[in-house]
Amino acid sequence: MIIALAQFNPIVGDVTGNAARTIEWMERAAEEGTDLIVFPELSVVGYSPHDLLDNTAFIDAVESAVRHIHAHVPEGMGAIIGAPMRNPDPVGKKLLNAALLLEAGQPVQMTAKMLLPTYDVYDEYRYFEPAERQEPLLFKGVRLGVHICEDMWNLEEYATYHMYDRNPVAELVKQGVDLLINLSASPYAHNRHDVRTGIITILCKRHGVPFLMINQVGANTELIFDGDSRVHAADGTLAACAPSFEEALIYWDTQAPESCRVPQHDRIADLHDALVLGIREYVDKTAVFDDVVIGLSGGIDSAVTAALAVEALGPNRVSGITMPSVHSSEGSVSDSEALARNLGIAFHELPIRAAVDAFENILKPLFAGTPFGIAEENIQARSRGVLLMAIANKFSRMVLTTGNKSELAMGYATLYGDMSGGLAVLADVFKMDVYALAHHINGRAASERIPSSTIEKPPSAELRPDQKDEDSLPPYPVLDDILRRYIEERQDEEVISAATGHDRSFIRSILDAVDRNEYKRKQAPPGLRVSVKGFGSGRRMPIVVRVNRAAIEQMMNELNEEAQA
């Protein structure tokens, strides 16, 4: 049997367009003599359609699209697609997250997802009823253990605690299957490729059957899907694999298995490719703006954002604006101009001194007798935001914000200033990784696309004389390590202090700053998610909250002393 894996890039909600492309891919596979083609999870609607699933007319359209696809399955071939389907049981959620086996002239065979994630960016139990039972699907005498995404992840080796009391893969294997097939919409995150490989290898060796995983590719709002589809032989070795971050149709012959060279993954290279894909997909799929505009400060963040945007959209769709103030260094303009020249993008200089002076004069009666401070500094950032948004409005462009995860975590950003825009490209990238991306971009191009002077200069917001980021923040290598432990690894103050050797009061000051600035992040534009825990829908923290870590520590110490007395 020849099986095709369709590493497919659907558009969320576009059921007619997704159905048409599904049919095109089936026809392509049929020309290659394919017996069975497999598409990713929810391939008819894209992942995730969220509250579109509450719309009755939308579900009617999904069912019509499924019937349309079924009517166009080539003779002698089968297709497995993913779609939300109505729950036939009157009790429970209205929908099932289903996999459908379609054959010309044959009734539809259906199985549904059993394990519904409700953590991080996932909220599937909001919409779907979990399958009570899964049974193998029969195709040309082959028993297919079809299951969906999370159903394969419930392994002791990859869970600190079990969220589910069922193991769908084990239950399918007990019923007798010849192949395990997983339909996924599994987003990219650092090292996700290695985790998938580890899980699938364990499952193959444990159950002694080949494993096929077909994963969505593309990006939808904050989520980026890397594809990474593959076939593992019964002993766990890689038999076929698709490239990451692009659509692909790969084939596997069950009777003539071949080995596939294990692809090499570099974390920064994958991060680069993920961000490029995320920018391109956000701009093109929303189809609101054709072009983007970026405020260029001469610093590393705006330079990397611009370089990524050019790779995603091409230089003709990217504009750079430098907006010097009285506190801007000479390099702020010259480095921005050099960057724009290297990238081949349109470039304009709009000094903001007149705007800042105008705002300060308007505010003078209210600010009289007070020292120059953050409020005055932020007038500069907000003046730039006004100019960028005016350009975006006038020429129908989207502003890309340039702030990184380290700054967003600490609130080292200005609301309605440098946080103004439509997409936060680096919102899930720590500062040190921004530098790594700059070196990767230059190395990949074998040229200095990002000027060395930009990479080498000390980072600064340039909102007051001789300002440096380290005036307000710890050194970025120290800060990023602590932030990663707290935000992504969910370590507490005591654990971070022990692991890093820093005093608990120092750790506490950083953690308190992260918590205190949640209100800013809630007003930020969507950010591309590239880590296991990014700001956005996957990190739902309250704005109105009070966590007094010092008081908690004192209380616990007192309790320990009482217990020992």
Query: Does residue 506 sit within a domain?
Result: no
Out of 103, 124, 129, 149, the active site residue is: 149
Per the listing, tokens 């963040």 go with 301
**Stated length of the chain:** 565
CA 261 – CA 387 distance, rounded (Å): 51
Domain ends where: 260, 287, 308?
260
Residues 236 and 292 in one domain: no
Please give the model's pTM, rounded to 2 decimal places. 0.94
Q: What is the pLDDT along the chain (565 residues), one digit of tens a residue?
A: 999 999 999 999 999 999 999 999 999 999 999 999 999 999 999 999 999 999 999 999 999 999 999 999 999 999 999 999 999 999 999 999 999 999 999 999 999 999 999 999 999 999 999 999 999 999 999 999 999 999 999 888 877 667 888 999 999 999 999 999 999 999 999 989 999 999 999 999 999 999 999 999 999 999 999 999 999 999 999 999 999 999 999 999 998 767 778 888 999 999 999 999 999 999 999 989 999 999 999 999 999 999 999 999 999 999 999 999 887 777 789 999 999 999 999 999 999 999 999 999 999 999 999 999 999 999 999 999 999 999 999 999 999 999 999 999 999 999 999 999 999 999 999 999 999 999 999 999 999 999 999 999 988 766 777 777 777 899 999 999 999 999 999 999 999 999 999 999 999 999 999 999 999 999 999 999 999 999 989 998 888 888 888 888 888 888 988 888 7
Out of 41, 222, 281, 462, the active site residue is: 41
Out of 103, 113, 462, 488, the active site residue is: 113
Listed in sequence order, the DSSP H helices in 107-219 are: 168-174, 192-207
Residues 255 and 329 in one domain: no
Q: Is 149 a residue of the active site?
A: yes
Query: Does residue 564 sit within a domain?
Result: no
Residues 231 and 147 in one domain: yes
DSSP letter for each residue of 421-468: SSEETTTTS-HHHHHHHHHHHHHHHTS-SS-HHHHHSPP---SSTT--
**Which amino acid appears at position 155 of this protein?**
L
CA 495 – CA 510 distance, rounded (Å): 14
Residues 188 and 293 in one domain: no
Query: Does residue 266 sit within a domain?
Result: no
Token pair in block for residue 362: 């308007």
Cα torsion for 5, 6, 8, 13, to the nearest 10°? -110
Residues 461 and 531 in one domain: yes
Rg (CA), the chain: 26
CATH value at residue 49: 3.60.110.10
Strand, coil or helix: what is 197? helix
Domain ends where: 260, 293, 325?
260
Residues 60 and 82 in one domain: yes
Q: Is 113 a residue of the active site?
A: yes
Instruction: Quote the DSSP letter at residue 130.
Output: P
Q: Which domain holds residue 186?
A: 2-260
CA 188 – CA 311 distance, rounded (Å): 19
The count of structural domains within the chain is 2
